[in-house]
Amino acid sequence: MTNTVSLDIEPLHDVTFGAVVRGLELRSLDDATWQALRETWLEHALLIFPGQFLTRDEQDTFARRFGDLEFKATPISNMTSAGEVFSDPGDDRVKSLRGNEGWHHDSTYMPVQAKGAVFSAEIIPSHGADTGFADMRAAYEALDDAMRERLAGLSAYHSLYYSQGRVGYMPKANEDGGYNQYGLHSGEPSLRPLVKIHPDTGRPNLLIGRHAYGIVGMDPEESEKLLDELNEWACQPPRIYHHEWTVGDAIVWDNRRLMHRATPFDMTEPRRMWHTRIAGERATELGINLD
């Protein structure tokens, strides 16, 4: 049966994805509206909802509409719970924030890649701190035949150790020699194809980003060069959009199709965002080298 619910949708201008959705309260969606919203999400990959002012519980409840949670609403912030602002470049929390300025898909370094995320703004600085998104489906579709043939069947490992280490943002080790930062686990790095078929749309997209390294069958320098070239080429207009935040905004994105990144801001100013990560389905998002 075709969904007859009509949503107030304004596609983003001059980009290949994304839409602003108005006239909804995400805290109180009925099932028919949710189904229409899910179809809209699969079509546009990024949905922006101004003026929602969700509580953490409301944000998590909305995120659960899309699937199980990898983790509940978590602050992405340069503030302590007591409101103190930290900005020391040597602080491990600052290193984590700065690392996120590279283009990436979430949790490709975990055994199961995330399906998506809900992100909302509570406190924002006076300028900067936009969040960028890049359309990896449109990037794949724009490749020439020779590059598509070259990438077919290739896979790369994904690791937060690699991505944070490469840019010099590894945290300090704890007393046991391990790390407390999420994603710096002791398990085997996940191996993922460079071209991934989206499990819901059936359409291919690139699966690259800062966590990817070590393409199987290539020497490290050749692999790094190819991945750097792909990342640089893919994340260009009209395939990118940077969202300028207003307090109360909420967004949801499809992490299987889109990459994203943080952008710099004056870390002497406070910023607090809330991130709820939606878990991927094991059947489609598990690393191909893992059981």
Q: What is the model's pLDDT at position 291?
A: 85
Q: Name 42's Cβ contacts closer than 8 Å, sequence gap at least 6.
A: 200, 201, 254
**Quick one: average pLDDT of 254-271?**
98
Residues 30-87 pLDDT 10s: 999 999 999 999 999 999 999 999 999 999 999 999 999 999 999 999 999 999 999 9
Q: Which H helix or E strand runs over 47?
A: strand 46-49
Q: Name 139's Cβ contacts closer than 8 Å, sequence gap at least 6.
A: 205, 206, 233, 234, 235, 239
Q: What is the model's pLDDT at position 4?
A: 66
pTM: 0.96
**Where do the structural domains in the chain lie, given as residue ranges?**
10-285
Cα dihedral value 215, 202, 255, 47, nearest 10: 150
- Asked if the model's pLDDT at residue 153 lies above 70, the reply is yes
**CATH number of this structure's domain 10-285:** 3.60.130.10
- Asked if the model's pLDDT at residue 3 lies above 70, the reply is no
279: closest CA among 63, 77, 78? 63
Residues 192-240 pLDDT 10s: 999 999 999 999 999 999 999 999 999 999 999 999 999 999 999 999 9
From CA 64, how far away is CA 67, in angstroms rounded?
A: 5
